[in-house]
Every structure is written in C-alpha cells, then in structure tokens.
Structure 1
Amino acid sequence: MSLRERVAAELERTRRRSEILTDAVDDADLVRQHSPLMSPLVWDLAHIGNQEELWLVRDVGGREPVRQDIDHLYDAFKHARRDRPQLPLLGPAEARAYVSTVRDKVLDVVDRLPSDPARPLLRDGFAFGMIVQHEQQHDETMLATHQLRAGSPVLAADPPPSAVVAVGGEVHVPAGPFDMGTSTEPWALDNERPAHRVDVPAFWIDAAPVTNAQYAAFIDAGGYDQPRFWSAAGWEHRVAAGLEAPLHWTRDGGDWHATTFGRTAPIVPDAPVVHVCFHEAAAYAAWAGRRLPTEAEWEKAARFDPATGRSRRYPWGDDDPTPRHANLGQRHLRPASVGAYPDGASPLGVHQLIGDVWEWVDSGFLPYPGFSAFPYREYSEVFFGGDYKMLRGGSFGTDRAACRGTFRNWDHPIRRQIFSGFRTASSSGPA
C-alpha cells in the first residue's frame, strides 16, 4: 500500500468511528454536558474538524480557511471543558457539515500528497498521522463521555474473549540498559522521542494487570479505611472525594456490580480493574506489599527482548496489533479477562501490556533527554512537570494508530473517568 493509500484509509477508518460515537445519540445528548470533566460531544466533533483544517487544509495544503471565525471556539487552551457548553458552538447539523467539508478538502490534499523530505511535517506523512491520532484520541475521550452519560444504552459490541491461558504471579526483569523511546517510528509524537539508553535495576512486575477480584479483596480488607496504605495527597483526596470503590462500582447485597455504558452487571472477577485513579492504584500496591512500576520499568517490561538486546515496537514484536494481540479500538466495550491474549505477551512473559486498560506508573511527565517540541509546544511541552502521572499501554478504547510500546499518556492523579487500571512491581521479588 502506498503512503497516499495508507493515509486515506486511516483517515476514513477513523472517521467511521467518530460517526458511530456521535450518531449513536440524539441532538440533545450531543449538545449536553454529561460531566464537567468532559466536553459536549458536539464540541469534540467540531474540534476534530478544526484541527484537521488547521494542519491539513491550511498548513499542508496551503488552502483558504473553511471557517477561520470558529478557531477560537475550538482552541482547547482557551476554554476549560467545564466552560465549553456556554460557548456559541456549532450545532449538530452545522458541526457535521463542517467536518464533512473539511474532509473533502483534505482528501483533495491527499490526492496531491506533498512530498518534501526537507520538511519534517511532511516526512512519511507525519502531519496526516498526527491528525489521525488526534481524532482517535478524541474518539476515546468521547467513548469516556458515553460511559458517563445517563440514560438507555446506545453503544453495543461483542463481549471480549475469555482467558485461554492461566496467567498469574510475577515476572523477573533483569538489570541492565535498554533503549527507551524512539527515533525511528514515523508517526511517533514528540514526547516519545528521541530513543535513549536507560539503565534499569532488576525488578519484578505482575504478569498481568490487577483484576477486579484482586481489587475487591483490597476493598473488603478495609483498604479504603486505612491511611497507612495511602500517600498524604492520596488520603486527602480519598476523604474529600469520598472514594470507596472504583468509579461505576456499586454493592448489590454482598456482591460488587459495575455499570458499563448503561448496563449494570456483576464484575468479571478475572478482568482488569478499570476506572481507578493513581492514588487508588498506589494504595492497593502498598496494601499488597508492593509498588507501582516506574515508566522506564514498564517500557522495559513491554519492549525489551533479552535474546537480542533490542527494544521492540510492541511486546510481541514489530508487527502492528491485530485482534490476536490486544483488546484495542473499541472492538469490545470492556477489558478482556487476564490470559485472553497469549499472542500479545512479551518475551519475558508479561501479558496484556497493550490494550484493555491504561496502566498508571509512578513517574511524572518529563521530557526525554534531547527532547524537541514538534510540531507545536502545546502538545507536550506545556504539560511537563506539575502533578501529572504517566499512563502506559492503551485501553480497550484506544485505537491501534494511537498506541505503541513507546506511546506516553498522562493525567492528574485524581482522574478516574478514563479507562485506567494498573499492575504492581517490586524491587526485591514476590511478596
């Protein structure tokens, strides 16, 4: 497949997902704010089109603006999410017409795909890959908004696969250096670059993410009632927010149930726990006599091949993900049971590092040595520092285009509306 064909196919595949997420609800739901943490779905839709216009129509294509008058409405840095419903946003019909017009112009640009190796924005179709990833990231954000909306279920998907192998315990990762990040992945974003050598002491890491049953044991043992398992900031937040269980969990008699996209059912014991914040993950790890892995530890567990000493693109190798490897792309609407994807395991035997749930790691969001902002500071650089904690590996709602072994996500440690889980680690071996 040529680069032009690949770009067109990825743009079309991604737009189909955006349409599924926005066509599933009526206009009232599109313009409603379902949580102050999230934008109205109609804002996300028009924002997707606006970013596509800015970068692909105006910059790459050199074309006249389609709607320059709305740029300020869809600038994420000018308006906090909680304030966006009060803006004079495009209505559902206007937003759909706008993104359609923009896409027609972009496909015309693709037909005349510029080729200028001297311009990094065009090299290997990077600008198009950046926009595909941006739309997929907003698709996952819209999926999280669907999880927060009240009312009858509107999304459906096949259930994820059951376990086919038994996975448990911990895996030893030997001490030594490995190559973290990338300098060669064509569509990698600036915070993933450049590749650099990191020497990591030996450690142990869970072979699978922490499951619902394991997390329920932490709750039943009084984990939410004992400050000794929580950091000072974590305990303060637990008390202030009244945290007692993962978001969307409720007690029904003596059993835990979870509400997933409008459907409430008993938790799946062997599936990864989801919708926990960093503080909850760290408290569980302390209760279990362990800790969360660092970002370097997580990436070494995911990418290092001890047989060759090289870092792979993915735990299973360099090939793109398929349904055999990982639970990605909204193909299912919840995490799969631990042991469902043996073909996706790393050479060391660590499972489900990609897909299912984003995994909290105990590292802040900082640039790699030699970092250079590209193509704009607001993607990564303005977020460095602060209280952010890193999330790695993607979730069932993350698309393959926006997920790889080097991909870095970040959020505030109190956030749990995202599809977040975790696994634990230790420097000294099994507890």
Structure 2
Amino acid sequence: MTDFDLLVIGAGSGGVRAARVAAAHGAKVAVAEEFRVGGTCVIRGCVPKKLLVYGAHFAEDIDDAAMFGWDLPSKRFDWPVLRDNVLAEVGRLEDAYADMLTNHQVEIIPERATLAGPNAVTLASGKTVTAGKILIATGARPLMPEIPGIEHAISSNEVFNLEKLPKRIVIAGGGYIANEFAGIFHQFGCRVTLVNRTETMLRSYDQQLVDRLLQISMSKGIHFEFNSTFTSIEKRDDGSLKLTMDGCDDMEANAVLFAVGRQPNVEGLGCEAAGVAIGDKGEIKVDADNRTSVPSIFAVGDVTDRVQLTPVAIREGQAFADAFFGNTPTRVEYGCIPSAVFSHPPLAGVGMTEGVARNTLGSVKVFTSDFRAMKNVLAGRNERSLYKLVLDGETDQVVGVHMIGPDAPEILQAAAIAVKAKLKKSDFDAVVALHPTMAEELVLMR
C-alpha cells in the first residue's frame, strides 16, 4: 500500500497536466512543488514574456497610427505599470492552476521533494511519502556561465522584476529568448546589443527567415556582435557595468542578460541514489513512454531535454497519464512540432527547413512570397514579410512552412495542420484566398 497512486515532483505545465489527467482517470494524485504552481511558462517564461511582447508592439503601433488619421501627441511608456500588471496576471494564473488541481482532487504539497527510492520521496519537512509511480517534472533553469562578475548579470527569470528599464542592455545568446528580449527592450527605448558566441542565430529555423530578421533588427537599431564572448563583468560605483569582451570591443551597460541555454533541474533531486540515469547534458534519460531507468519513476518536460517547449511538456504529461492511468497507450510524436520566435517581427516554422529538406530528401521545390503587409505600406514602414513553402520534389508534399511577419505565429498554427496531414501544394492551391489578408499568401504562391 502506498500513500498515492502517483506523486508528481514539480507543478509546471507537464506536471500539472499529468496530475490532472491521472486524477480524472481515477488515480489518487499529489503534486510536490517548492516554489509556485505554474512552472516556468506561467511564472517566469512564455506567459509574462508574451505580455511584454504585446506591450512592446504598441511602440510601433503608436508611430503608425498617425498615417491612419490618429493624433497621439504624447508617447510615454511607464515600465512599472506594465511590469506590475504582468505580475498581477501571473499571480491570477498561479491561483487558477492551483484551483484546477484542487478541483480534480489533486493534493498540493508545498514542499521540496527528493527521491528516496523507487516508490518514495522525502519532503523538506522530513516526512516520507510513498507512491506507486513517481513523475519528475522539475523543468530547467537558465544557464549562467562561470565568469568573474556573473553575479551582476540577470537571466530571463529576473527580467520581469526589474525596478527600472536599463538605458543600455547587453544580451548574450543567439536563440529565441535572446532575440525576443532584444526586440522587447528595443521597443521600450533601450539601447540593445546582442552578443553571440558564434555567427549563427536561431539555428533550428530556416536560414532565409533568420537572415531577414537580422536585417530588420539591424535596420531598427539593434546592435549585434558575433563570434564574441564575455571575459568578465565589473560593477562600477555608479551602478553601471564594464564588460570585458573577447572577439569585440569592451562595452559599458546598465544591465546584462544571459540567454545562452537552459539546464535541467536535477541537482539535489536524489536521482543517483534512486538509480535514475542522467545523460551527458544533465538530463534525465527516458524511453518513448517517459520511463526512466527505474521502472516506477518517469519524467516529462524540460528536465528530459528532448524538446524544451511548453506544449511538448503538456503532451508528454498527457501521454504519460493516458498510458499508465487511462489504459490508453499513447506516445508523443516529435516530428512535426510548430514553433515561433516572438521577435519584432515574429517568425514561425513547422516541418523541414529548406536546408534540412535538401539534405534529407535531395529533390526539393521551394515557393516564396516576399511582400509588404498592407498596414506597413500605408504606414510608410518598409519592413517586408517572407512566407515559404518547402516541398518534396518527388511528391509535391508540403514538408515545411516558414514565415516571418506580423502575426506569423497565429497563422502558422493552421498551416501546421496541413503539414501534419501531409497535404500537397495542389491542396493549398485549391483553397480560395481570404482577401485581403497576409495569410492568403500561403495559397497564392505559384
């Protein structure tokens, strides 16, 4: 006999979904969470970041409004107002997640839990709790490099609580988090420099779209330093930071944000003592059914370092609960996952990039539409959008859809269904265009 059928360590997106679904299947479930219910996405990730993205978009919208007849003489941004409203919304969502678990009869244990064996955990209070199955969903955290003065830098965790906006901010990284915050801070009026240790940004996205984002970002005034790294960070008496660099000139800034990757949260979890195997990158190793090297212990989400995306963690949590408590064997398919970068403008993609398709399929057809959105034309903004279809050259099946431009992520979700359904270019051509929209470009490429 055990205290619970399932005990979940971590109340992030994957853990909450697994707990709720398992409970709906009739299991007795508990979730141990040492911090706040909701995890990275809700508390310090995609939700508050997207709200900042919305806030940042108003900077250009206000500028464009004049060409549409609106007289807005005052353009003043108040960072504390947006910051506090975002944090309030995060608090509301945290309560909603907790209520959802409670309404499904899931017990929330507000303590840190560490593995004490194949069917037991030890809580911070010293109490031992047992369960038939244990699910690890502890997520990941920002990776901070070991350089002198790193304590003066911030990560994406702290960025939502800044007391005031920095006049000059340097962002380290070339991935989606770095590029998103570069766009956000630039729109808020900060001087932004993005430093990347290589010459490649957003390596999993189509290179033609990445080049377009770089071109637009530079034209807006975002500065880039490639093949450069940080040697040290020194805080001066006036609060400013001196950045000693390798590969580019030294810099001065008011804030430094590191977005150079994320590492799984496994330290102090008791994996080694419990016999749970850890991979080379510190990730928990699992099979296709989310099972670790210990048959009764499972893991989902970022802690497994398979695909570090919230919807993937949710799918993994759902699959685990359905398979082991719903008597419905389910596995997650990782081959057709849509993703987006909420930059300015945003870009999104699903399926094979042109480069991957050429290396994988050999025979490839590519259709593109390079255009200015109607709103940008009237506003006098020269920013151009780019949509791209990648086809299997032998079958004309659409194996990839990639786009950069206003609302690209919103449009891509429907396009991802077409790629998942293995539709052909002729299926796109047969659809009547919805005019006037940007999305109609997807069915007008010839």
Task: Report the TM-score when normalising by structure 1.
Answer: 0.25
Q: Which has the higher contact order (CA 8 A, sep 6+)?
A: 1
* Structure ranking higher in strand proportion: 2
* Larger radius of gyration between Structure 1 and Structure 2: 2
Task: Report the TM-score when normalising by structure 2.
Answer: 0.24
